[in-house]
Amino acid sequence: MVLDRTDVRSTMSSYGASTRPPASAYAPCEYARFYGTEPQESSPTARTWYARGQNFVLVYSEVQPGAEFSRAQQPDEYVILLPERDGAAVEVTTDDGTTSVSPYSLTFVPAGKSHLKVTRPGRVVQLFSHRSEDLTAKASNAASYAQPHPNIAPLEPWPDPVGGFRVRTYSLDVPPDKSRFGNIFRCTTFMVNYMDGSSGPRDPARLSPHSHDDFEQCSLVLQGEYVHHIRFPWTSNLGAWLEDDHTRIGSPSVAVIPPPSIHTSQSISTGWNQLIDIFSPPRVDFSEKPGWVLNADDYPMPEHV
């Protein structure tokens, strides 16, 4: 695999490298198209779709004011992403009180009882770990994970945040910085890399094929159209080989890219294209890059990495 050394990710020692024994079995990429499909849940104020990976479930909702979502006994920290500058706003209520959350923000909500009420229309994305079994069961691709997929490390939560758990909100209105890759935030269960996107198709001579040893990459397409290029390494067992995958997909949609596939996503729409990457648990290699994780002071890394 020949790497593009102008890509800021090439400064990571992990980029294009593998430290694990070769895989002997693979699982294909998982796709969920929220466009052109009926939601798993529908009400006068919300249309909601569910898709999952091995360690997480993504909940995508198109909402109107008054829509509500509740967690009575949430087992761990979860994420609320409000991806639009002029989009949805919400109120989050926990035992500590009610927090008003503005559009274009990322919020981490602690375990236990919580309630979300929408105050402005738009889109709301929620991320939960696989421990929220009532939600993983609703996923359109739940059957794909009836048996664990190979090569994926289990979710081990990262250390508690400095000062303890509480509702923590971060604005996505972050000045651009070419020395880092996107706008990265982490909590104990997730890492979200919010990228603003770009206009027009990606230069086909400047793609970024790479692989991950032991974690899935969830790519949420919010605008535009992409081709997800997936290639699996050959093993000594011909029966384990999978064909190359070049799936063209619109928005909104999800691709859950399995390890250790070589992959890259190519924007192809002539308009605006936007893709957000999600990982559970947080990525160590991104976290090791100084300045890349914007809320690193709030959420420490594990001592053993």
The alpha helices in the chain, defined as continuous H runs, are: 133-136, 284-287
Mean pLDDT, to the nearest integer, of 233-253? Answer: 96
Q: Let me know: does 294 contact 234? Beta carbons within 8 Å.
A: no
Q: Are strands 46-52 and 253-257 parallel, antiparallel or unpaired?
A: unpaired
What is the structure's pLDDT at 6? 65
Q: Which of 11-15, 25-29, 67-71, 168-172 has the lowest mean pLDDT?
A: 11-15
pLDDT 10s digits, 182-193: 999 999 999 999
What's the alpha-carbon Rg for the chain, to the nearest Å? 19
Structural domains for the chain: 8-287 (2.60.120.10)
Mean pLDDT of all residues in the chain?
Answer: 95
Enumerate residues 6+ apart whose C-beta is below 8 A from 248.
Answer: 225, 226, 227, 268
Is cis: bond before 281, omega within 30 of 0?
yes
Determine the 3-state secondary structure of 255 from DSSP.
strand
Give the whole-number percent of the chain exceeding pLDDT 70.
94
Q: Whole-angstrom Cα distance, residue 198 to residue 195?
A: 9
Q: Which residues pair with 247 in a beta bridge?
A: 228
pTM listed for this prediction: 0.93
Q: Whole-angstrom Cα distance, residue 78 to residue 8?
A: 29
Q: Are strands 198-199 and 245-249 parallel, antiparallel or unpaired?
A: unpaired
pLDDT 10s digits, 249-285: 999 999 999 999 999 999 999 999 999 999 999 999 9
For residue 103, pLDDT over 50 is answered with yes
What is the structure's pLDDT at 15? 56
pLDDT 10s digits, 125-169: 999 999 999 999 999 999 999 999 999 999 999 999 999 999 999
pLDDT 10s digits, 75-97: 999 999 999 999 999 999 999 99
Q: Are strands 262-267 and 245-249 parallel, antiparallel or unpaired?
A: unpaired
